[in-house]
Structure 1
Amino acid sequence: MFCTSLRKRPEWATVPNTLLSSQRPRWGEQSLTTHDLAIPIPNQDGSLDTFLFLALSPCDTQPPASAMARIQHLYHHTGGRNIGIVFLLNEKVPTSNGTIALMNLQVSIHSTLEMPIIPLFSLSTLQTTLSNFQYQLVHKRRSAAPTPVQPALSLLPYCTNNPPLPEHARNVVSDICHSLADVARAATTADGQLGLKEWLDPRVAGAAQDIIDFWEEEIIVY
C-alpha cells in the first residue's frame, strides 16, 4: 500500500505509477494519514503484521521540525512498533548532501525514538530495497538468536568521502566507537585522528583519511 499524496511530492511523484505497474507484489493506493508506504510481514503462525514507512528525502527534512512532527506522529500512533523511514539520498535537484542529511536525521531521532532508516540511492531501487528489508526482517524474526542491531552505527558505511566504508574498516571503527558522536570526536580531534590512522592504515590504506575528510563537512549534531 502507498499513500496517494506521493503524487504531489516532486521527489516521489513517479513512485505511484511505478508501483501500480508491478505484478509481484501488487500495490494499492489509498489516502493515508500517518505513513507513506506499507508492506506485509508474515509471522510464523501465518498471521501478517504491517510495517509502515515514511518516505523522506533531504528536502523533506527542511525545516527539521516538520519532519520530526511526522516521525513522532507515526511513532506514537503505533507505539514505536513496525515502523521505519525510507530516505532518498539522491534527489532530482539536490538541495544538500544526502548522506549528511540522512546522518543528521539519524542522530536527531536516535536519543528518543528507535526506528530503522533505510538509505535509498535511487527511486528505481525502491521495490528491491523494500523486498530486501522484508526478507531480512522475516528471517530475523524466525531466527532463534537474532543478531542485535546497532542503530547508532547503521550509517557508518556512509560516513566517509569514499562510500561505502570497507567492511574491515567498519568493524574496526565500530569496535572503538560506540556511537556516531564517538566517530565524530575521533575524526575531528588530533588524538582521535591519530588513533584512526594507527588502527586503519595498516589494513585499509586511506580509509582513516576518508573518514576525517567526511567529518570536515558542516553537520548539525542534536
Structure 2
Amino acid sequence: MDIVIANEVAPSVRRVLFMAAQIEGRQPKYLIRVKVARIQFHQKGDMIFDDFTLARVLHIVSIVGWIGGVWFVTFVVMPSIARTASPADRLHAFHRIEQGFSVQAKFWVILAGVSGFWMTWRADMWSRFAETSYWWMHAMLGLWLVFAAMLFIAEPLVLHRRMAESPSPERDFNLMVWVHRVLSVIALVTVLGAMAGAHGLM
C-alpha cells in the first residue's frame, strides 16, 4: 500500500500513519523525493534503496563519529587530563591529544554537512527553515556552523597558537572544558530533537 502526500507532512499525520502501519504489522519506510514524500509500507525482506537513503545513512554515521567524539573528549579525555596533569600542564596535554582527533573531527563535520545539504536539496526541504515547528533543523544547522567555524577557522588561525603559547594555561583549559560541556549539552538536545522530529514525534 502506497500513500503519496505533500512534502510538508504535519507531525500529527506522520504519527497516525506510523501507528497504522504498526497496527497492521508492517514496517513503514519513508522515501522522500523532490517536492513529494512517498510513505511506502512494505513487508520484511523488501529492499528499497536510493540516493536519499544513502545520504541519510552517511549523515547518521557522521553524527555518531562527530558528536560521539565530542562527548568522549568532554567527559573522558578532559577529566582524565584534569586528574593526571598539573594545572599548568593540562592545556599542553590536551593540545597533544586534540591534534590527533582534529583530523577525524573535520572529516565527520564535512560528511555531516555534505550529506545534510544533499538531503535538504534532494527532498526540497528548504521551506522548513521558515517554520518554527522544525526548530531542530535550525539547531542542526547552527551547531554545524559553530563546529565548522571552530575547526576550519578558529583552530588553525587562533586556537593552536594559543594552546602552544598560552600565558594562562590553567584558565584557558578550564574555559575549554566549559565550552565543550555547553556544546555537548546543546548537541544532545539537537540530536534528540532531530530524531524525534524525523520520526514524527514533533
| TM-score (normalised: structure 2) | 0.26
Higher helix share: 2
Larger RCO (CA within 8 A; separation ≥ 6): 2
Q: Which structure is larger by alpha-carbon Rg, 1 or 2?
A: 2
| TM-score (normalised: structure 1) | 0.24
